[in-house]
Amino acid sequence: MSLVLGLLSHTLGRVLWYSGLRRGCHAPRKQAMEQDKALEVYDIIRTIRDPEKPNTLEELEVVTESCVEVHEIGEDEYLVIIRFTPTVPHCSLATLIGLCLRIKLQRCLPFRHKLEIYISEGTHSTEEDINKQINDKERVAAAMENPNLREIVEHQRRFLYCYSLQMV
């Protein structure tokens, strides 16, 4: 009798364990998906060149893997949040980096997304002002119609060209 009961309880335990596994299975899968997407985003932004210096944002630690956050917000749609650390507290340079990040992702990120870009907390005196600007799509669109600004934001290729000339 006790053997049967023992078997029953063992089976019950197993059933409960399996159902728990199935339930919990969604959470790690979603997390893994989000992490995958975050890496995809990081891969795109780390090679962006700093507007001032001949280094990438990754080399200058303006962006790091952990500075990208991705959340699933719908079917095949993700919210991407980037918190970058500008190298100098210069307002216009920080805004420029924000612009570079936004434009590069707008053009290169293959999956459906909404994007928020912020200066990492405590790194700038006017961070609220900068954050508001770089997240106002009308301001961003108007800025990108300025040929000088567009040239700077897009200078990635141009800079690469000059750099490779130097190497020869």
Partner 1 sequence: GRGWRGRGLREGHAGGGVARGPSPGSQGQPPPPVQPHYPPAPAGPSWVCRAVLGEGHQRTVRKVAWSPCGTYLASASFDATTCIWKKQPDGFECVTTLEGHENEVKSVAWAPSGNLLATCSRDKSVWVWEVDEEEEYECVSVLNSHTQDVKHVVWHPNQELLASASYDDTVKLYHEEEDDWVCCATLEGHESTVWSVAFDGSGERLASCSDDKTVRIWRRYKPGNEEGVACSGTDPTWKCVCNLSGFHTRTIYDVAWCHLTGALATACGDDAIRVFEESSPAAPQQPTFSLAAHVARAHSQDVNCVAWNPKEPGLLASCSDDGEIAFWKYQRPEVC
- Per CB under 8 A, contacts with partner 1 among 121-140 are 132, 136-139
The C-alpha atoms of residue 157 and residue 166 are separated, in whole angstroms, by 14
**Which string of x and - marks every residue 27-66 that binds partner 1 (by CB under 8 A)?**
----------------------------------------
Q: Determine the Cα–Cα distance for residues 62 and 129; give it in Å rounded to an integer.
A: 19
The CB-of-103 to partner 1 minimum distance in angstroms stands at: 15
Pick from 84, 85, 56, 49: which is nearest to 69 by CA?
A: 84
**145 scored as a contact of partner 1 (CB under 8 A):** yes
Among 21, 27, 141, 167, binds partner 1 (CB under 8 A): 141
In single-letter form, the type of residue at position 11 comes to T
Q: Which of 8, 16, 39, 73 binds partner 1 (CB under 8 A)?
A: 73
Q: Provide the minimum distance between the beta carbon of 46 and partner 1 in the complex, in angstroms, as a whole number.
A: 26
Other beta carbons less than 10 A from residue 16's beta carbon: 10
The DSSP H or E segment spanning 74 is strand 68-74
- With beta carbons less than 8 A apart as the criterion, state whether 109 and 41 touch: yes
Rounded to a whole number of angstroms, the minimum distance from the CB of residue 134 to partner 1 is: 13
Q: Would you tell me which residues interact with partner 1 (CB under 8 A)?
A: 73-74, 112, 114, 132, 136-139, 141-142, 145
